[in-house]
Structure 1
Amino acid sequence: MSAPRALDSPDAYTIGWIAALPIERAAAEAMLDEDHAPPTSFVRHQSDTNVYTWGRLGEHNIVIASLAAGVYGTTSAATTASRLLASLPSIRIGLMVGIGGGIARPDEDQDIRLGDVVVSQPDGTTGGVCQYDLIKAKAGGKRERKGFLRPPPTVLLNALASIQADHERRDSTVPLYVQEMLEKNPKMGRKSKKSPGFAHQGLENDRLFQASYEHVSGPDCRHCNADGEVQRDDRDTTDPDIHYGIIASGNTLVKDAAERDRIVDDVGGDCLCFEMEAAGLMDHFPCLVIRGICDYADSHKNDRWQRYASATAAACAKELLAYVPPAEVQETKRALEVLQSG
């Protein structure tokens, strides 16, 4: 096997991709069309301790970074992004790709399933990501959001409009990309005692419970009573749906249904999922957030779907980048310029 080629200059890389977890980074790396060695003239900034993966996705050269192992949250994400931009001032747009907890409300036509993908999209009152632990309590029990997080770059919002229009006419390529990933990386599809693998985990393991029904101790909810389940219409395929709307972000891991619903009521709008890093990025790293749904942010939360959700999110990012013209990326302000002008 030949060694990966190295591009001459780090300025050839215009897209930064940030993952929080090792499994999210593994899925991102598995989506690359071509692996690269570090650019021959790359000089790391003295403050930068990130570890990078270099490569090509379609017509774009991208660099992948992840948070330090065991260190999560909005501050860690902001630090990782700042270090990336210090070493790579050529970066113009970013992606934050990984897993999140879905907010499924099928009775309100918000039918989110495990393995589905949520993409941050502005709604006029937020930039697509809302920091839920910056909610201000007011008189009379009223609550309001504080601050406004920066929306994604225009070139990415244009790509969102294009891909949504295309998906009205043809199916998403996300399932194809996941299948290609598993074929090229057979280990990712294998199940073991430590890992359920990156493949779909079976419809029988996707169970949504009523908010009032607490988890019964035991693996995979096998002791949870079916009477506590929310009955949903069957889907005729295991292919993931892609949802566009508000992502709630904060430093608190949400795994309680009552707390989940309270936060959703505070955030309001088309709130589709929870995660723990994006709020630290939006004002420091012009980016779009893509999350694969691995649980329902309740007491039934477990790790079974995390790898598959990482894969569907990474595949969605790959599909989206095919709608981003390289020339328009080059015409987009560098991320550092955007931050300095903001």
Structure 2
Amino acid sequence: MSNPEDYTVGWICAITAEYVAAQVFLDEKHDRPAYLPPHNKNDYALGRVGKHNVVVSVLPMGEYGTSSASRVAEDMMHSFPNIRIGLMVGIGGGAPSQKHDIRLGDVVVSIPRNGQGGVLQYDFGKTIQGQAFEPSGFLDQPPTILRAAVNGLEAHYESEGNQLDETVHKILEKKPRLRRKYQRPDLASDQLYRSQVVHPVDGDSTCALSCGEDPSYLVPRSPRTDDDDNPAIHYGLIASANQLMKDALIRDKLAAEKDVLCFEMEAAGLMNHFPCLVIRGICDYADSHKNKAWQGYAAMVAAAYAKDLLCQIIPQHVEQEAKIVNIPMEGNHYPTITFGNYNSGVQIGTNDGSINATFGAR
């Protein structure tokens, strides 16, 4: 059985597809530990990536958002007390703009921008009519060791190009049962609708049927050439909240005001007490046209990037980092209420701060 003291990297996923992707990129799989504290209900996959021993965990089925991610991270770092660095790896919704040509299957990495630590909690702050959204509180930036590795890997990719798509393809050749869900979809399915085009609320059919294929509904984009990285890697601000972003107008507003590249639902619950880097594969455009066709591939390409990143880091440097469990909590922390899929609940009592609420399913 594995010794929990041997693991120095914590890797957190939100959904099953991300958990599968993380596990297939382990160079070596380890047995589960013989014992975990009774209160720790997390599921774990243990193994080695490069020269690092990694523990991977996933949020409980049906739970989403910052509070659930925070609980999983807390149990992980207490049960594996030598974890020094963390990764949050999975899928997200892209925020394409004229400045950032973000496409399905690309990867976004949380890097500090515009006075933000790499992750912006956009459901905690204030919006004044005619003014930009102003967040309340501050989320810590990723540890220096991870940001340095991102810089080194970016330089390598710029010189040699990334091999992420080829790496995913090789994995799927070894595991053909995963191809149907995790291989790269037809590029023709990567369509970016104009922000004013809204998918019908009761429309269960595809966008091609519900929204039509009128070219005027789509944002024209030139195909990427052989000289372009595909998937491309984007570095900057990731927006996080206890709500699923499906509004192209709000997406565009935050992209314009805050230079947001991506939207997701877990990272804001981690940054101030589980120092980590957030890596997101783009599976949709954070609009009403969401579908799951690209989720598998996006999870795989994010995991492939995470593996390249870990291989960039010297194990001795990780050992020199403080144990995450010993790092004092800093920044603003807010109580959270999470309701289930029926979108109803009652909270009775008093609270001196602010409350984040999670409603519904992902």
Q: 1:325 aligns with which of 286, 291, 314?
A: 314
CA distance in 2, matches of 1:262, 1:168: 30
The equivalences for 1:57-136 within 5 A come to: 57-105=49-97, 108-123=98-113, 125-136=115-126
SS at match of 1:219: coil
CA contact (8 A) 2:89 2:303 kept: yes
Q: What corresponds to 1:37 in structure 2?
A: 31
Q: What corresponds to 1:239 in structure 2?
A: 230
SS at match of 2:234: strand
CA distance in 2, matches of 1:56, 1:35: 7
CA distance in 1, matches of 2:308, 2:133: 38
1:204 equivalent to 2:184? Answer no
Q: What corresponds to 1:193 in structure 2?
A: none
CA displacement at 1:341 relative to structure 2: 7.6
For 2:195, give the aligned amino acid: A
The equivalences for 1:84-233 within 5 A come to: 84-105=76-97, 108-123=98-113, 125-138=115-128, 141-190=131-180, 197-215=181-199, 217=203, 219-223=205-209, 224=212, 225-233=214-222
Equivalent pairs counted in the alignment come to 324
Range moving further from structure 2, 119-128 or 202-211: 119-128
Range moving further from structure 2, 132-141 or 52-61: 132-141
Residues 103-125 of structure 1, C-alpha deviations (whole Å, 9 max, x = no match)? 011xx231000000000001250
Residues 299-338 of structure 1, C-alpha deviations (whole Å, 9 max, x = no match)? 1111111111001111110111111110100001111122
CA distance in 2, matches of 1:337, 1:11: 14
Structure 2 portions without partners, runs of 5+: 332-362
Q: What corresponds to 1:256 in structure 2?
A: 247
Alignment RMSD (CA, Å) = 1.8
Q: What corresponds to 1:294 in structure 2?
A: 283
SS at match of 2:325: helix
For 1:319, give the aligned amino acid: D
SS at match of 1:55: strand
Q: 1:309 aligns with which of 298, 316, 337?
A: 298
CA displacement at 1:226 relative to structure 2: 2.7
For 1:203, give the aligned amino acid: L
For 1:183, give the aligned amino acid: E
For 2:58, give the aligned amino acid: S
CA displacement at 1:270 relative to structure 2: 2.8
For 1:199, give the aligned amino acid: Q
Q: What corresponds to 2:336 in structure 1?
A: none
Q: What corresponds to 2:339 in structure 1?
A: none
CA contact (8 A) 2:272 2:329 kept: no
CA contact (8 A) 1:283 1:339 kept: no
Residues 172-222 of structure 1, C-alpha deviations (whole Å, 9 max, x = no match)? 1312321121012111103xxxxxx11110110000011011225353312
SS at match of 1:279: helix
Q: Are the structure 2 counterparts of residues 79 and 189 from structure 1 closer, same or farther at C-alpha, using a change threshold of 3 Å?
A: same
CA displacement at 1:95 relative to structure 2: 0.4
Q: TM-score, normalised by structure 1?
A: 0.90
Q: What corresponds to 1:275 in structure 2?
A: 264
SS at match of 2:86: strand
CA distance in 2, matches of 1:140, 1:201: 41
CA distance in 2, matches of 1:259, 1:88: 39
Range moving further from structure 2, 219-228 or 173-182: 219-228
Q: Are the structure 2 counterparts of residues 341 and 99 from structure 1 closer, same or farther at C-alpha, using a change threshold of 3 Å?
A: closer
CA displacement at 1:263 relative to structure 2: 3.6
CA distance in 2, matches of 1:124, 1:139: 22
CA distance in 1, matches of 2:330, 2:137: 18
CA distance in 1, matches of 2:11, 2:245: 25
1:17 equivalent to 2:1? Answer no
CA contact (8 A) 1:15 1:93 kept: yes
Structure 1 portions without partners, runs of 5+: 1-5, 191-196
Q: Are the structure 2 counterparts of residues 259 and 143 from structure 1 closer, same or farther at C-alpha, using a change threshold of 3 Å?
A: closer
The share of aligned pairs that are identical, in percent, is: 46
SS at match of 1:168: helix
CA contact (8 A) 2:108 2:281 kept: yes
Range moving further from structure 2, 245-254 or 171-180: 171-180
CA distance in 2, matches of 1:335, 1:256: 36
For 1:280, give the aligned amino acid: G
CA distance in 2, matches of 1:137, 1:210: 24
SS at match of 1:309: helix
CA distance in 2, matches of 1:142, 1:260: 13
CA distance in 2, matches of 1:262, 1:269: 8
CA distance in 2, matches of 1:98, 1:51: 17
